[in-house]
Structure 1
């Protein structure tokens, strides 16, 4: 189906732009009313529903996990433009300031309504992520222990 191929390509292109340091493209793709949930009670966890909180969240991601890269492995698309369900499996990886390497599998479940993202739910291995955040905190970046950014 042509629509499915277009959506898959758009998802992959958005991750490529994030890898190039442009997270604003992702934020610009959000619907006026959206929910972004990242599971877990940690510095990157929480629920955001405003563009401002998403920008602050991405700024934190860049500070805590600089150079993190996403390798999209699967993009599953179902539905039409009025209600598209998307599942993405990707590998996120990058070097941590203590010399160790962060590698985790990320699952994202999204809903796209008429070309705009209305919901995102992000799940990854929280033990791996929390160890990475602790490694960042251990070199003096206290923000890695901060409360989630939420609305």
Structure 2
């Protein structure tokens, strides 16, 4: 079970990197041709297929929801080092640029790891809540909040 502990600690650390806008650290464990999918038809939705596009996505996340805070509630690690699936259930909160502190979202990240490297990351959450939050950000003049999804 030491392996599961190490993986869980690493996943929790990756969320800390996101909360603190440490993008280089957030993408460090990604393989060059990672698959990243986020549900929803909005500026943070869509699919990316390379590490640099995922980094650009994280940078956008930091610009459109600058004080987003993700709290990890549960992490489940299944499998062996050569093929591991990790589920991370979280709650997210943010104060929007209009002063509204009611942005709340909950979700589940599904990571596919091989030998400690992330090959796939899928994010499942309330995409309508995300779209409403992004629309509120855009209403304050933050145009990137309603930009086309980052592809790559």
Q: TM-score, normalised by structure 2?
A: 0.95
Structure 2 CA distance for aligned equivalents of residues 110 and 61 of structure 1: 19
Find the counterpart in structure 2 of residue 43 from structure 1: 43
Find the counterpart in structure 2 of residue 148 from structure 1: 149
RMSD: 1.0
Find the counterpart in structure 2 of residue 55 from structure 1: 55
Find the counterpart in structure 2 of residue 94 from structure 1: 94
What displacement does 1:49 show?
A: 1.1
What secondary structure sits across from 1:79 in the alignment?
A: strand
Q: Within 5 Å, give how 1:52-91 maps onto structure 2.
A: 52-91=52-91
Structure 2 CA distance for aligned equivalents of residues 89 and 23 of structure 1: 21
Find the counterpart in structure 2 of residue 109 from structure 1: 110
What displacement does 1:33 show?
A: 2.4
Structure 1 unaligned spans of 5+: none
Tell me how many residue pairs correspond in the alignment: 151
Structure 1 CA distance for aligned equivalents of residues 27 and 13 of structure 2: 14
Structure 1's consecutive aligned runs of 4 or more residues displaced over 2 angstroms after TM superposition are none
